[in-house]
Amino acid sequence: MDMVSFFNVRRPKSVTSNSKNGFSALSITASQEDDEADSGNHVRLKSPRWFSEFSSIWPGQAHFLKVENILFQGKSQYQSMLVFQSASYGKVFVLDGDLQLTEKDECSYQEMITHLPLCSIPDPKKVLLIGGGDGGILREISRHSSVEEIDICEIDTMLIDVYKEYFPNVAVGYKDSRVKLHVIDGTLYLKSIERGTYDAIIVDAFDPIRGDHELLESEFMEVAARALRGGGVMCIQAESLWCGSLDIQKLFSKCRQIFKGSIDYAWTTVPSYPSGVIGFLLCSTEGPYVDFRCPINPIDPSSCGISKQPLKFYNSEVHSAAFCLPSFARKATSSMMKPKNST
Amino acid sequence: MDMVSFFNVRRPKSVTSNSKNGFSALSITASQEDDEADSGNHVRLKSPRWFSEFSSIWPGQAHFLKVENILFQGKSQYQSMLVFQSASYGKVFVLDGDLQLTEKDECSYQEMITHLPLCSIPDPKKVLLIGGGDGGILREISRHSSVEEIDICEIDTMLIDVYKEYFPNVAVGYKDSRVKLHVIDGTLYLKSIERGTYDAIIVDAFDPIRGDHELLESEFMEVAARALRGGGVMCIQAESLWCGSLDIQKLFSKCRQIFKGSIDYAWTTVPSYPSGVIGFLLCSTEGPYVDFRCPINPIDPSSCGISKQPLKFYNSEVHSAAFCLPSFARKATSSMMKPKNST
């Protein structure tokens, strides 16, 4: 690995194959001659062992992490994967060149996207996770003793296997006996089930949703709303407050039409994500009014679920605080928060 | 400027001098031959126009910003300065190689470090700013109509001039007639004034304070506490929650000894800072009890002060939310918050 200088799994240079852990493990080696500079948004480094992330959503900036050791590199039928030991963020998982998860800060994202919806409704029993193949959200759902069924739609089983191998503390969620894996596209699954099946749906499957996101125009949101019981809730990753193309008002307006209940927006700190912030869009369907800011269903601290570890990030104070938006973002939400006819 | 490839103002390569705007303006040019890779924590890029920040506090990671245009580079008797137009963060100010301020996100830092203390006490009249030479905190103090005197200690007058030239919307704070500039070291100034002079002191002069910070052992904290009236408040930048070396408990314990009032810790999102988070340590002296979480002195929205612009980030909701800490950080603070004998 001494020759590893820079890798971008979207554009691998030279690839050698190893068989390891039952996966098709790959490692990238690149000679110094490969180093080059793009004049556009990409740069390549001559220095050894740095991973870089450039995102089209965040042009003009990049985040670099120092690589201690490449643990796995491979490709499923859907996407390429890279696992490395970083110098400062623990193990890191990269999907199609985009940083997905680091051991250092996964707690913030996984705990918030799970407990913001589940702590906002009384006694959730049936929960659906779309995407989230790493298992961390399953681990968090597992803390809720009221939950009887946890369904997950994840199409890439190799991704699950890689997480189980390299991130056992994340993938531990699969060990909960309530979990049932459906290897099927989320939209197809949602279409196949009865109306009003779920108390909560958590979506961790797409690029972060924005005001102009194609997801809003697709049938996905319609079928998700249909799959929820009255007063059921959905939580989906929704960009960063600092992202120029985030239009919360448009997002709210569209989701109000579809879900017909309350809509709200929260955010948390995730250092490895560009801008250090990830937002969440929360929607409830017509029925019993859901006040997302008020966690009426707090987590029993003695109930750690399958992970046996206490919460690292989430608590009821952080829950409510997550909905407090900077003034520049608050204008959009203040008039849009409550449904017209809450019951 | 076409040849500019990478610059690190700590280690300039070749420097040409221009006279511009009355300053000793410098620009760096570097040929391709200068590009090299360090095996340690530094990398240099062959690609044109990227600024990189590597911090010893945050080893193993780096943040890169694309440079559209270098506007100023120079050196005062104290430090080197760089101003560039970035592709995504507006104008950027760099001090001794460390990113100090970007137009995109300065609102968060400046508004929070100012209004967290000033909105926590009734009618602040005399306010001292130590450091903060850019003028942004002065701009924010200016919103408080109760304030009669605003003193600032800043030793580097060239820094002030550069900000006035390139960041007029930040340096506008100097135009407030209540502002009095003292070109003197903060500690010396504090020693020279009468005990109990100020209602509030804001400190923006040092590296972010940590649990093991030498500032805690120096006389600075003692003389700052001495300069405050009973129940007066100090706010100082105090690292990120995500920084491994931050020891909030140690920080609280030390500051409680010195200030003898209430101590609390808040944080905000600043995308251009490593981890995307900056924290604030707030201390009050013995006297009327200060509950930092409760903004009893809200800002009159119609009073914009010298800037004429409304607040971009701060509001009373964000104020209280800033004190809600993730579980991993909360343990340290929950038992330490209140003074032993609050009056």
Q: What is the DSSP string of B92-146?
A: EEEETTEEEEETTTHHHHHHHHHHHHHTTSSS--EEEEEE-TTSHHHHHHTT-TT
Q: Is the pLDDT of residue A283 over 60?
A: yes
pLDDT of residue A85: 97
How many Cβ atoms sit within 10 Å of the Cβ of residue B214? 11
Interface of B with A in 110-169 (CB under 8 A): none
Are A324 and B325 a contacting pair at CB < 8 A? no
B60 CB near a chain A CB, below 8 Å?
A: yes
Query: In the A/B pair of chains, how many CB contacts fall below 8 A?
Result: 181
Q: Render pLDDT for B267-299 as a digit per residue (tens, 0 to 9).
A: 999 999 999 999 999 999 999 999 999 999 999
E strands present in chain A: 6-7, 14-20, 23-29, 50-55, 58-75, 80-86, 91-95, 98-102, 126-131, 149-153, 179-182, 198-204, 228-237, 260-269, 277-285
Q: Kindly state the tokens that stand for A122.
A: 């009384």
Q: What percent of chain B has pLDDT over 90?
A: 68
Is pLDDT larger for residue A259 or for residue B208?
Answer: A259
Distance (Å) from the C-alpha of residue B218 to the closest C-alpha of chain A? Answer: 30
Lowest mean pLDDT among A42-51, B198-207, B247-256: A42-51
pLDDT of residue B176: 98
Q: Render pLDDT for A145-155 as a digit per residue (tens, 0 to 9).
A: 999 999 999 99
Q: Render pLDDT for A194-241 as a digit per residue (tens, 0 to 9).
A: 999 999 999 998 877 877 778 888 899 999 999 999 999 999 999 999
Q: What is the DSSP string of B159-211?
A: HHHHHHHH-HHHHGGGGSTTEEEE-S-HHHHHHHSPTT-EEEEEEESSSPP-T
- Identify the residue among A1, A3, A6, A46 best suited for mutation to test binding to B, counting B beta carbons within 10 A and taking the highest: A46
What interface predicted TM-score (ipTM) does this complex get?
0.85
Distance (Å) from the C-alpha of residue B160 to the closest C-alpha of chain A? Answer: 27
B298 CB near a chain A CB, below 8 Å?
A: no
B230 CB near a chain A CB, below 8 Å?
A: no
Are A48 and B37 a contacting pair at CB < 8 A? yes
Strands B179-182 and B149-153 turn out to be: parallel
Chain A positions touching B44 (Cβ under 8 A) are: 46-47
Are B47 and A43 a contacting pair at CB < 8 A? yes
What is the spatial distance between Cα B101 and Cα B76, in angstroms, rounded to a whole number?
18
Known active-site residue B204:
yes
Nearest CA in chain B to A68: B60
Q: Is the pLDDT of residue A86 over 60?
A: yes
Q: Render pLDDT for B15-72 as a digit per residue (tens, 0 to 9).
A: 223 333 323 222 233 323 333 333 333 444 444 589 988 877 788 888 899 999 999 9
pTM of the model: 0.86
pLDDT of residue A258: 95
Nearest CA in chain A to B321: A321
Q: Which of B151, B176, B204, B264 is catalytic?
A: B204
Q: State phi, psi for B236 to the nearest 5 degrees.
A: -140, 140
